[in-house]
Amino acid sequence: MKSFYKLLALLLIINISESCSTSSAASEELHSGSLSESYAYLSPESIVYASSISNLVSSFPKFRNDAVNREVMFLKNALTDYLTAVRDFDQTYQRRSLEVFEKHYKNIQKLRKFITHDDDDVLNRYMVKIKTNVNLLEASMSKTVETNSMSSN
Tell which residue, 53, 45, 39, has the closest CA to residue 10.
39
Q: What is the pLDDT of residue 48?
A: 94
Question: What's the length of the chain?
Answer: 153
- How many whole angstroms separate alpha carbon 94 and alpha carbon 105? 16
Greater pLDDT, 63 or 2: 63
Mean pLDDT rounded to a whole number for the chain: 79
Largest CA distance in the chain: 55
pLDDT of residue 147: 54
**How does pLDDT run across 96-152, given as a tens digit for each residue?**
999 999 999 999 999 999 999 999 999 999 999 999 999 999 999 887 655 555 555
Domain boundaries, the chain: 2-152
* pLDDT at 151 (0 to 100): 52
